[in-house]
Chains A and B, each alone.
Chain A
Amino acid sequence: MILILVLSLTYLTYLGGLGELPPNDVRLIAKNYLNLTYNPYVKSLWASSPEAVTAIVWDYRGLDTLFETVVFYGAVLAAITLFRKVAKEKDMLQSKGMSVVVKRATAIVTVAMLTVAFSTALHGHLTPGGGFQAGAIGAVAPLVMIVVFGKRYLEDRGLSYGRLLSLRNLALTGIGVTSIALFTYALIQGGFSFIFQNQGKSLSPYSFPSYTLDVPSGGILLFFNVFEFLAVLAGFTLVFLILLGSDELLSKEFEGGENGY
């Protein structure tokens, strides 16, 4: 029965996928974005980014992505709130970590991971990638380090709750400041510009730099990608710090509240 259902749905979608499932006018929207994203002949509408996806994510639909970042921020805050008693404390277990061989190998590989992540963030407007992907790659480094070196080892060396939260707040403030930076600049110059404006429009000539050393820099996209990378990296590390805490630490959250939910 389920098999027949799956097969019939497949048949319908397969024919539709090659035929008329999305109507043909949908292609007009795609053509618009593809044509304008890096079109030096229409400089009033371009995003100065050869990568169309990043141009849509942070320029043409930038506000969507801003609120998406806010949702992620809220989810991490909610996760920390559930363990608010223990989130600020150091772990009481003194783990020795794994063997010396694993520790040395991890130390080398971690540098490579962070390098790849940072280059993904910096090249987000040139090649596939961007701030969020870079943050997800970079968050693997602290995760592996917590497992290999032990949580307390890293906490004694400065990977603390407060610092990660500050980094995260700083990065989100950076996103906010970047979005109104051009607006403020235009006001000081006595002109007028839109919030979230990247390149100059026909109504407002102000523009973020389009090129850095004759490579397209995507203007606002570069800043957004770097700040988003830092925000996602810090957010994930915060959650890993809680999820990988020892049993003794996490049980302290429930002291005195054994009865009922």
Chain B
Amino acid sequence: MDIELVRFMFLLTVVSFYVNLALSIYGVIAKPNLVKKIIALTILQDSASIFAVLVGYKLWRPGLTLQPPVLTDLTPTSETLKEFVLRSVDPLPQALVLTAIVIGLAVTVFLTTITLHIQKHFGTVNVDVIGRLKREEVYEEVI
């Protein structure tokens, strides 16, 4: 593959990573809607995962064609194996990202259910309104 193209794709990925990071942290902090907070959190998780995978794609030697960490030859000779080890990207970040995605999904499933619970109880998912309702209900303040 063209080395300039590879460099450009790296640049694009890194830029989009930081833009996503900034946007999602803004979303988690600033949006009052709980569903939007969860969406922003998901984007944050996926940005971190993409960054970890990107580290595995680090160009170890310029001009080298990279390949996925899957051996296609089922009866490999030692030359095939050497070629595979040289060209293949790092599989360890991909395995860790797989774990991270599962944990992230577990968290998302739980948060979604909690949000549904809150919506059924208060009738809204806006944290500002929920805070006011809680003060009225629990402490019987009049605002």
Q: Which residues of A contact B (CB under 8 A)?
A: 2, 5-6, 9-10, 13-14, 17-18, 21-22, 26-27, 29-31, 33-35, 37-41, 50-53, 56-57, 61, 64-65, 68-69, 71-72, 74-76, 78-79, 82-83, 126-128, 130, 132, 136, 215-216, 236, 239, 242-243, 250-251, 253-254, 259-261
Contact = CB atoms under 8 A, between A and B. Distances in A.
B137 A260 contact: yes
B19 interface: yes
Contacts of B14: 10, 13-14, 17
Contact of B91 (A34, A41, A82): A34
- Interface size on B, as a range, is 35 or more
B58 A22 contact: yes
Contacts of A29: 90, 92
Nearest to A69: B102
B70 A71 contact: no
Interface string B49-70: 0000011101110000000111
A212 to B, nearest CB: 12
18 contacts: A2-B22, A21-B55, A22-B58, A26-B90, A27-B90, A38-B71, A38-B76, A50-B74, A51-B71, A52-B88, A53-B94, A56-B91, A74-B106, A78-B110, A130-B98, A132-B101, A243-B112, A250-B116
Contacts of B58: 17-18, 21-22
Given A14-B11, A22-B58, 11 more contacts: A14-B10, A18-B7, A18-B59, A29-B92, A30-B90, A34-B88, A79-B109, A82-B117, A216-B74, A239-B113, A242-B113
A35 B85 CA distance: 6
Contacts of B106: 71-72, 74-76
A57 B99 contact: yes
Contacts of B69: 34, 51-53
B81 interface: yes
Contacts of B15: 6, 10
Nearest to B26: A2
Contacts of A74: 106
Contacts of A83: 113, 117
